[in-house]
Amino acid sequence: MIMKGKRGLIVGLANNKSIAYGIAKACHEQGAEMAFTYLNDALKKRVEPIAKEFGSSHVYELDVSNEEHMAGIAAKIEKDFGKIDFLVHSVAFAPKEALSEPFMKTTKQAFQIAMDISVYSLIDLTNRLEPVLSDDASILTLSYLGGPKYIVNYNVMGVAKAALESTVRYMAVDLGKKGQRVNAISAGPIKTLAAAGIGDFSQILKWNETNAPLRKNVTIEQVGNSAMYLLSDLSSGVTGETHYVDNGYNIMGMAMAETNEEGKTILAWDAR
């Protein structure tokens, strides 16, 4: 088993539809032991059964904007695990109005919140956990195509994801001196709790399914398997990368569609 003997912390799991769930499942199937965090009491009742499903009783409350939570997380890990070999950072947030209103209407407060929780928390969390991270630890965060490219209604989260991917590269250099690695996965759109806040998300799903080379949307299982690779020793020579798991959608430069004689838009490959 690829992850046998490895221990890790999964931060940001919300339910069994989460990308973080897919990652935890893949790691568990390959022998990893894990601890989990939950944001608040409302999510605790969802996370605890998932932890139990994966053979873990180590569940901690962690709001990355709460200093008390952040200050105490390393001590909890040390008590339960000693050291950990991997960290999954699945944390992102922007105020609702920053996603529903035009990008140019983004307030300074909303911008700062999005950057603090979605980006700086990766740096902060890694620093807090430094005493309990193994010398060859692997750190993974989650991005999206809305960082390097414009995605409708993604707004300030796109700017945050762009900053997150840049942060991964800069962190990779600093952590590389210690032998530690950091990477990002840019997953295709998946119907998760977080995605519910993005306007017209069903249209985004349909568009990706229509235009991705593999002509379907990605699953949390597919993302989980790729994440497991990046968290394991199989990827020991990989750091600072943003790895796309989106059925190839990111390579497309033009929509695969054309107009028929009736004026209806159809897929170019279905017209041939």
Q: Which of 21, 38, 144, 229 is catalytic?
A: 144
Region 72-79: mean pLDDT is 97
pLDDT interval class at 272 (50, 70, 90): very low
> Which member of 38, 154, 229, 244 is catalytic?
154
* pLDDT tier at 207, thresholds 50, 70, 90: confident
pLDDT mean across residues, the chain: 92
Tens-digit pLDDT profile for residues 52-69: 999 999 999 999 999 999
pLDDT, one tens digit per residue, over 104-134 is 999 999 999 999 999 999 999 999 999 999 9
Domain ranges of the chain: 7-270
Question: In terms of CATH architecture, what is 7-270?
Answer: 3-Layer(aba) Sandwich (3.40)
- Give mean pLDDT, residues 1-8: 97
Q: How confident is the model at residue 2 (pLDDT cuts 50, 70, 90)?
A: very high
144 tagged catalytic = yes
Confidence (pLDDT) at 193: 58
Number of other residues whose CB lies within 10 A of the CB of residue 176 = 13
**Annotation says 154 is catalytic:** yes
100, 103, 131, 154, 183 from 114: Cα distances, Å: 14, 13, 27, 12, 20
DSSP string, 88-144: EE------HHHHHS-GGG--HHHHHHHHIIIIIHHHHHHHHHGGGEEEEEEEEEEE-
**229 vs 193 pLDDT, higher one:** 229
pLDDT at residue 265 in the model: 59
Q: What residue spans of 16-66 are helical by DSSP H?
A: 19-29, 41-53
pLDDT above 50 for 90: yes
Range name among 120-129, 189-198, 241-250 with the lowest pLDDT average: 189-198
